């Protein structure tokens, strides 16, 4: 993971934002926990904010802050980005505080017990009804993240296509054209793969919410070999 983050930092300094996003997409498959996820989401937010993708940047920053509300940006940024990040941090902390208060209120609410309870009054199904729905959150988060990453990759591929169609001045020779075509194809393939996996995860979450969930835990890994995107493992 660390070599990718160093590469992203250098590309950011060189204003090579599209290449930095490509590195982040590749690095996602190497994430080994919350710390890596936070670092990747913070860099995604910074790069997208530099490209003036305000909504996408906000989504990436929030993804990091919900995992680690006190997270700090890895590099110095412009006042515009810093103000956006600080504002989102306040929103996230406020949202988490409200959730905590709601949980505390539910815990403090007294529950009346019947004088003579019977087995028929509280069937087992009623006691376990919330469990499948709570488990549906994991595939929903995974699906949403994959779909968002796929959207970013697809948008970048459209940027390469626009360069080719509009005869961008940076495409001065055949070699630069070939590189642009190759990069566009890779981004397009990756975007389609990620969005497909994201739709699968969101569909599974909906099914789990409505119909129930299996007991096994799932694991999913995501990667690309430079020409195609692949998802392996099993979802819960």
pLDDT surpassing 70 at residue 1:
yes
d(CA 102, CA 56): 29
- The residue-averaged pLDDT of 140-155 equals 74
Instruction: Judge contact between 195 and 155, C-beta under 8 A.
Output: no
- The residue-averaged pLDDT of 75-97 equals 93
- Is the entire prediction scored with pTM above 0.75? no
Choice among 5-9, 11-15, 134-138 with the minimum mean pLDDT: 134-138
Average pLDDT across the chain, whole number: 76
Query: What tokens does 173 get?
Result: 């020779």
Query: Which pLDDT value is given to residue 36?
Result: 92
pLDDT surpassing 90 at residue 88:
yes
Query: Which pLDDT value is given to residue 48?
Result: 94
- The residue-averaged pLDDT of 88-105 equals 85
Query: Which pLDDT value is given to residue 213?
Result: 46
d(CA 49, CA 77): 10
- The residue-averaged pLDDT of 52-81 equals 93
pLDDT digits (tens, 9 = 90+) for 189-232: 776 777 677 677 677 767 766 665 445 455 555 555 555 555 55
Query: Which pLDDT value is given to residue 191?
Result: 67
Query: Which pLDDT value is given to residue 146?
Result: 72
% of the chain exceeding 70 in pLDDT: 57
Closest among 160, 150, 203 to 28, alpha carbons compared: 150
* Nearest-5° Cα angle at 175, 169 to 180: 65
% of the chain exceeding 90 in pLDDT: 34
d(CA 83, CA 88): 9
Position 108 confidence tier, pLDDT thresholds 50, 70, 90: low
Query: Which pLDDT value is given to residue 126?
Result: 46
């Amino acid at each position: 993971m660390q070599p990718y983050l160093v590469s992203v930092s250098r590309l950011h300094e060189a204003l090579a934002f599209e290449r930095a996003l490509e590195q982040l997409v590749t690095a996602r498959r190497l994430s080994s926990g919350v710390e890596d996820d936070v670092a990747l989401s913070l860099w995604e937010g910074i790069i997208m904010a530099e490209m003036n993708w305000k909504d996408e940047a906000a989504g990436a920053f929030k993804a990091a802050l919900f995992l680690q509300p006190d997270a700090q940006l890895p590099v110095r940024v412009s006042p515009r980005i810093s103000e956006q990040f600080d504002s989102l941090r306040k929103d996230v902390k406020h949202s988490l505080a409200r959730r905590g208060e709601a949980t505390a209120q539910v815990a403090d609410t007294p529950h009346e017990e019947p004088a003579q309870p019977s087995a028929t009054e509280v069937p087992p199904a009623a006691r376990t009804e919330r469990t499948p729905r709570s488990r549906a959150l994991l595939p929903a988060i995974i699906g949403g993240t994959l779909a968002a990453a796929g959207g970013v990759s697809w948008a970048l591929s459209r940027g390469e296509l626009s360069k080719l169609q509009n005869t961008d001045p940076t495409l001065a020779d055949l070699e630069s054209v070939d590189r642009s075509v190759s990069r566009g194809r890779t981004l397009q393939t990756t975007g389609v793969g990620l969005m497909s996996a994201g739709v699968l995860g969101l569909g599974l979450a909906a099914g789990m919410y409505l119909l129930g969930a299996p007991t096994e835990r799932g694991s999913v890994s995501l990667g690309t070999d430079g020409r195609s995107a692949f998802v392996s493992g099993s979802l819960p």
